């Protein structure tokens, strides 16, 4: 598989955020050092007044100086936290890692008939990966989140579980502009389709949200249709292309379907979407086990 990198927007944002974080940390360190120097000066002044009162046998002043010195020593400034980065840095680092996992995984299973375009951007946003090959054009939005992901149309949210299976965190899955993963990939992909159509190339772009985290990166209880591989995998994805109203809820393989699939891709082919969460039965008739924490769909 050939790789064409148009831009490294997540990497650029990560570097800029780290520079801002380092600048903030440096300012906090400078303020702490100034406050610490002033603290030492106050302690030395209190100790000098205490010792002077003792030398002059002014015992009441000496006693006041003892308590004043102790009080000043307890007022030492708190040092700034070391090695702490803002949440945005962690989010960007996860995004960069997820994009690298997608590129590496596709490179292992696709031949040179496929080209991976990374970092395509237009006025509607950025597409993490554009996969161009014999079976068409595929837009992929990668999400590297250690959580169970749920979706109902364009409403996406996540649930985090501890090692005992207890839910410990829930939240909306959106970007800084408040867009869900499906909107993040659909909006720029729609504008790219319009551009290609205006140039005489009526190309339908398939769109997928790929969950890459090796932990609990599962798509669960999607409001449209969810499918999965014949056996539990460590990555999954949701197709975000709206399904026509006339399509069957269990129809598979059409460009108008909306489904959750694994990140594995057959050599020279497109992502496999042969097995549904509903029933979890493979084409060979073998019942596939349901992953821990993944609710079955009725």
Q: Encode pLDDT of 101-115 as tens digits.
A: 888 888 888 988 999
Q: Is 297 exposed, middle or buried (0-12, 13-18, 19+ CB in 10 A)?
A: middle
pLDDT at 233 over 70: no
| Confidence (pLDDT) at 240 | 56
Nearest to 194 by CA among 205, 183, 179: 205
| Confidence (pLDDT) at 142 | 84
Binned at pLDDT 50, 70 and 90, residue 143 comes out as: confident
Residue 147 has which token pair?
């959580």
Tell me the H-state helices in 158-204.
Answer: 181-198
pLDDT at 89 over 50: yes
**What mean pLDDT is predicted for residues 258-267?**
36
**What mean pLDDT is predicted for residues 19-46?**
89
| Confidence (pLDDT) at 230 | 32
Nearest to 264 by CA among 193, 219, 210: 210
Strand residues in the chain grouped as ranges (E): 2-5, 115-122, 125-133, 136-143, 148-152, 155-161, 167-172, 205-211, 218-219, 227-228, 236-239, 260-262, 275-276
| Confidence (pLDDT) at 21 | 78
| Contact by Cβ (8 Å): 247, 92 | no
Nearest to 21 by CA among 81, 99, 97, 94: 81
pLDDT at 213 over 70: yes
| More confident: 179 or 7 | 179
| Contact by Cβ (8 Å): 205, 191 | no
Cα-Cα-Cα-Cα torsion 242, 248, 250, 251, nearest 10 degrees, comes to -70
Strands 2-5 and 275-276: unpaired
| Confidence (pLDDT) at 165 | 85
d(CA 284, CA 82): 55
d(CA 212, CA 192): 25
| Confidence (pLDDT) at 85 | 56
Residue 24 has which token pair?
């903030």
Nearest to 290 by CA among 225, 223, 221: 221
Backbone angles phi, psi at 156, to 5 degrees: -120, 140
* Residue % of the chain over a pLDDT of 90: 33
Nearest to 76 by CA among 30, 36, 45: 36
Binned at pLDDT 50, 70 and 90, residue 74 comes out as: very high
| More confident: 181 or 278 | 181
Name the least confident of 9-23, 51-65, 71-85, 202-216. Answer: 9-23
Residue 4 has which token pair?
């064409």
Q: Encode pLDDT of 150-197 as tens digits.
A: 888 899 999 988 888 889 999 998 888 899 999 999 999 999 999 999
| Confidence (pLDDT) at 238 | 59
Binned at pLDDT 50, 70 and 90, residue 288 comes out as: very low
CA 42 to chain centre: 48
Tell me the average pLDDT of the chain: 74
């Amino acid at each position: 598989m050939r790789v064409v990198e148009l831009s490294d927007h997540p990497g650029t944002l990560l570097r800029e955020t780290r520079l801002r974080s380092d600048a903030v940390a440096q300012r906090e360190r400078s303020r702490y050092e100034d406050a610490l120097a002033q603290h030492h000066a106050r302690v030395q002044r209190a100790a000098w007044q205490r010792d002077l009162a003792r030398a002059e046998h002014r015992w009441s002043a000496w006693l006041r100086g003892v308590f004043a010195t102790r009080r000043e020593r307890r007022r030492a400034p708190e040092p700034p936290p070391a090695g702490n980065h803002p949440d945005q840095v962690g989010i960007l680092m996860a995004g960069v890692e997820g994009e690298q996992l997608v590129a590496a995984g596709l490179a292992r299973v696709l031949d040179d008939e496929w080209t991976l375009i990374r970092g395509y951007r237009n006025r509607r946003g950025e597409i993490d990966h554009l996969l161009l090959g014999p079976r068409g054009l595929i837009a992929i939005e990668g999400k590297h989140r250690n959580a169970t992901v749920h979706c109902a149309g364009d409403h996406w949210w996540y649930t985090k579980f501890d090692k005992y299976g207890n839910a410990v965190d829930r939240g909306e899955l959106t970007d800084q502009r408040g867009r869900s993963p499906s909107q993040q990939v659909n909006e720029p992909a729609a504008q790219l389709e319009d551009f290609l159509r205006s140039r005489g190339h009526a190309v339908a772009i398939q769109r997928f949200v790929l969950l890459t985290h090796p932990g609990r990166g599962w798509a669960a209880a999607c409001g449209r249709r969810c499918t999965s591989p014949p056996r539990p995998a460590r990555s999954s994805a949701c197709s975000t292309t709206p399904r026509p109203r006339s399509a069957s809820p269990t129809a598979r393989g059409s460009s108008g379907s909306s489904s959750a699939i694994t990140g594995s891709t057959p050599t020279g082919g497109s992502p496999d979407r042969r097995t549904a969460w509903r029933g979890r039965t493979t084409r060979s008739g073998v019942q596939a086990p349901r992953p821990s924490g993944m609710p079955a769909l009725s």
